[in-house]
A and B are shown apart, each in its own frame.
Chain A
Amino acid sequence: MKYTLSVQVENHFGVLARIAGLFSARGFNISSLSVAETEDPTISVMTIVVEGDEKILDQVKKQLNKLIEVIKVKDVTFLDYVSRELALIKVKIDAQRRREVIEIADVFKGRVVDISHENITIEVTGDSKKLDAVVELLKSYGIVEMARTGRVAIIRG
């Protein structure tokens, strides 16, 4: 199963390496990891999606807590939380296909962020399933390039 952890860390040089190193040294699997500074510039938040069973999750949390630069580990998996991923997808187009791609983007509440004679780039946010669905649909048009973030999460309320 996949668990989502929201981890507050000191915004120090090398913290990401420390956390990634912990996962590789202990044989834990990271499905995705995203990191960004918070409103407090001394703190970053990492959203880590971990794959494993409960025992592994328990160890992951404890081992993360052991790191000096980890301030707080929150397991949001079973909490009421909002999570998002973002994808930027560049699709090959011609005049006729352009309209179809834009329609698909509209259905998924995506936005066109760039357009040229050959390509169109759309931006979609949502959970993994929604993004997978968009990607699947756009595949038939020919995806030139794609960039996708990991999951970010925040507890509701």
Chain B
Amino acid sequence: MLTGAKILIESLKKEGVEVIFGYPGGVVIPIFDVLYEEKDIKLVHVRHEQGAAHAADGYARATGKVGVCLATSGPGATNLVTGIATAYMDSIPMVALTGQVATSMIGSDAFQEADITGITRSITKHNFLVKDVNDLARTIKEAFYIASTGRPGPVLVDLPKDVLVSKTEFNYPDKVELRGYKPKVKIHLGQIKKAVEMIQEAKRPLIYYGGGVILGNASNELVEFVKKSGIPITSTLMGLGGYPGDYKDPLYLGMLGMHGTVYANYAMHNCDLIIAIGARFDDRVTGKLDEFAPNAKIIHIDIDPSSISKNVIVDVPIVGDVKDILIEMNKLIKPVKIKEWLDQIAIWKEKYPLTYTKDSKFVKPQYVIDKLSELTKGNAIIATEVGQHQMWVAQYYQFVKPRTLLTSGGLGTMGYGLPASIGAKVAYPDKTVITIAGDGSLQMNIQELGTAIAHDINIKIIILNNAYLGMVRQWQELFYSKRYSGVCLAKTDKNGEMCGYYPDFLKIAEAYGFWGKRITTNEEVEKALKELLEVSGPALLDIWIEKEENVFPMVPAGANLTQMIGGLA
């Protein structure tokens, strides 16, 4: 006979869990008590539960395995919410374990009680409240199965105190029986044939792929598909790294959408066939929906039937595992004859490259990312926060391998990057893991610097510091007549002029035991980046960038993809 807490940990071991990102509290002490002497599962105890959720998410994105986070009841559980929603929007496999007050107390407004299954119902793929210790092992099995199969997503398991302390026999089931959940769909070969025929006849086809390729481990198949067909390819933010990013590759157009390349957006607008692969036609990608790709037919490959024809009407849907589908398509596909189209794309690429100048007082952020990409050669794992720096990373860092970009695409969660990089570094201690942050975002979970130090998690942080919430400032500059409201993070004098950056990130670095350095000019960039990469322990580089640098090109909200600002000079 084992206690519920012991059964939980034994079940996690059966699922191959090697690390839990967690924060203790009253009702989960029995779990932490088991972890006290547990050898096979490492506990990374974070400084805030949101950090635990993002770290588990970062671990999952980097490895493809299910990330696990653990928090106590009430505020512990509610602090996970943003992290769970982040994982849900990007379809990340995660199991969130929360303590709950004893079953007899549920509903009585007990101390640290929150109805977390109710709260997370719309941001989890599924959730469970375990009311009987005899259901615990089976529930954990189901939770991992649901989180990791089909379109992945977070699953929350709520664990009342009495369930954790009561005892029963431990029997871990071999199989899952869920009659309402059949993630394996048989691929419709007829649809594949039809799609391939359409592709061969297209004059201006374009592959538009997304995070589904990464989640479905289908990068190799995608590369083969592009090679065999010779069709140009553009990626969503979530897809970056799924196809080796190299702007010199004539078929590679980089990211499309609101801050996509001019040529990717032109190609999308002018194509006659979209081959959408594991992407969901998000509004940041399509721009104004009724003017999106006006002459294109659409083939849509997705594992989730509800993604099909949700935003745009699809001509040929193919539902199923992206890897399996691409394998079948690769058997049939032949090179397409699209010389004119490729010539047109080459002209656009030549005429409208991503550009920036270096004639600046402070550092040009694009240059930092460009240089970092060159120095790391795509061999680092990059986590970002959310905002301008995130878009510069997407534009200027050439991701050549899947699972090397960890970024909150769907929910756009500031505070994601630092804890996500901790999760990734725990998974891959030998890889270089870098958080690229804005000065605003980093402060949203800055307490996790403590987690990194305490666990010797050797992450590198680059702050692109403009003393602004830069993306919102950019919108205020462009669309609200420069009325900067609530975006300045520096101290200002009587005239509204900036007169000091706060906080002093070097002092923060020192306080936590991070190596720290600050640079303010372009000339210092290369040397400082090399130094950062060579430092043996956790390190932070505070880079003062041009304060009012904008991310261009930009498709304003509500415009179509050809109506870009910037980058068209």
A residues near B, CB below 8 A?
9-10, 13-14, 17-18, 21-22, 25, 55, 58-59, 62-63, 65-71
> Can you report 22 residue pairs joining A to B where beta carbons are below 8 Å apart?
A13-B129, A14-B117, A14-B129, A21-B121, A21-B122, A22-B122, A25-B122, A55-B309, A62-B305, A62-B308, A65-B305, A65-B306, A66-B304, A66-B305, A66-B306, A67-B126, A67-B180, A68-B126, A68-B180, A68-B181, A69-B126, A70-B180
Chain A residues with CB under 8 Å of B541's CB are: none
Complex interface residues of chain B between 73 and 125 (CB less than 8 A to chain A):
117-118, 121-122, 125
CB of B310 closer than 8 Å to a CB of A: yes
Bound-state Cα–Cα, A70 to B126, Å:
12
Chain B residues with CB under 8 Å of A65's CB are: 305-306
Bound-state Cα–Cα, A103 to B305, Å:
53
Bound-state Cα–Cα, A44 to B146, Å:
22
CB of B179 closer than 8 Å to a CB of A: yes
CB of B499 closer than 8 Å to a CB of A: no
Given the interface pairs A70-B180, A71-B179, the reply to whether A59 lies near B310 with Cβ below 8 Å is yes
Given the interface pairs A59-B306, A65-B305, the reply to whether A18 lies near B121 with Cβ below 8 Å is yes
Of the candidates B118, B131, B179, B304, the one having the most CB atoms from chain A within 10 angstroms of its own CB is B179
Chain A residues with CB under 8 Å of B511's CB are: none
A69 engages B180 (CB within 8 Å): yes
Closest Cβ–Cβ distance, residue A11 to chain B (whole Å): 12
Closest Cβ–Cβ distance, residue B318 to chain A (whole Å): 15
Closest Cβ–Cβ distance, residue A64 to chain B (whole Å): 9
Please report the total number of B residues contacting A with Cβ < 8 Å.
19
Bound-state Cα–Cα, A14 to B122, Å:
13
Chain B residues with CB under 8 Å of A58's CB are: 309
Of all chain A residues, the one with the shortest Cβ separation from B155 is A68
Bound-state Cα–Cα, A63 to B305, Å:
9
Of all chain A residues, the one with the shortest Cβ separation from B308 is A62
Bound-state Cα–Cα, A68 to B305, Å:
14
Of all chain B residues, the one with the shortest Cβ separation from A22 is B122
Of all chain B residues, the one with the shortest Cβ separation from A71 is B180
Bound-state Cα–Cα, A58 to B125, Å:
20
Extra contacts besides A18-B121, A59-B310, A68-B125 (7): CB < 8 Å = A13-B129, A17-B121, A21-B122, A65-B305, A67-B180, A68-B146, A69-B126
CB of B569 closer than 8 Å to a CB of A: no
CB of B178 closer than 8 Å to a CB of A: yes
Of all chain B residues, the one with the shortest Cβ separation from A55 is B309
Closest Cβ–Cβ distance, residue A143 to chain B (whole Å): 36
Chain A residues with CB under 8 Å of B309's CB are: 55, 58
